[in-house]
Amino acid sequence: MELKCYQVKGPREFALGYLSDQLLEQGYVNDSFKRSLLERERIFPTGLNLSDSVNVAIPHTECCYVKKDLFVIGISEEPIIFNRIDEPEEELPVNVIFLFAIVNPKSYLPFLASLTENFSNEDFMDCIKMKDSKKIEEYLYLHVLG
């Protein structure tokens, strides 16, 4: 699977909208993807607190809006406010967004499993903490997509 990394800016809807627009322009998703992604994030937030200072978001939506697989990373210099997956009322400042656009729901699961398994890896956590897009990309190619 291909991987693309983008610099994004908050607020949350703006960042997710920007990533969706990039995907649409390049033919990875159809024009309902954006609305569905934003709506799902509003109803079921995906902010994850991984350790004391590392927070990420794993927004996703139904596979039917996806035309071609892509793993998208959004990195923001300034934290973007998401809400917690486990406590939807609580806010969480996030600097790194992992967005899988995957056609086949069955192939989403192993990627999500592989990504989350690596949340316990210190090197990976360091790349995320440093918001280092090049290192995050390298790590993901090697350990998640490889």
Partner 1 sequence: MAKKYFIYVACGSAAATSNLVRSRLLDILEKEKIEAQVEVARISELVNLVANRMPDLVIITAGSVKNKDLPAGIPVVSGLPLMTMFGVEKFGKEIKEALLKVA
Binding site for partner 1 (CB under 8 A): 40, 43-44, 46, 48-51, 60, 62, 85-88, 105, 108-109, 112-113, 116-117, 119-120
Is 91 buried (19+), middle (13-18) or exposed (0-12) by CB count in 10 A? middle
Q: From the CB of 9, what's the least distance to partner 1, in Å? A: 26
The values of phi and psi at residue 109, to 5°, are -55, -50
Distance set, CA 63 to CA 2, 67, 143 (Å): 16, 9, 23
Is 77 buried (19+), middle (13-18) or exposed (0-12) by CB count in 10 A? exposed
User: Between 32 and 49, whose beta carbon lies closer to partner 1?
Assistant: 49
* Sole residue written with tokens 């990627």: 111
User: Between 21 and 126, whose beta carbon lies closer to partner 1?
Assistant: 126
Q: From the CB of 139, what's the least distance to partner 1, in Å? A: 15
User: Between 30 and 36, whose beta carbon lies closer to partner 1?
Assistant: 36
Q: From the CB of 112, what's the least distance to partner 1, in Å? A: 5
Q: From the CB of 53, what's the least distance to partner 1, in Å? A: 13
C-alpha Rg value of the chain to the nearest Å: 14
**Measured between alpha carbons, how far is 97 from 18 in angstroms, rounded to an integer?**
12
User: Between 86 and 138, whose beta carbon lies closer to partner 1?
Assistant: 86
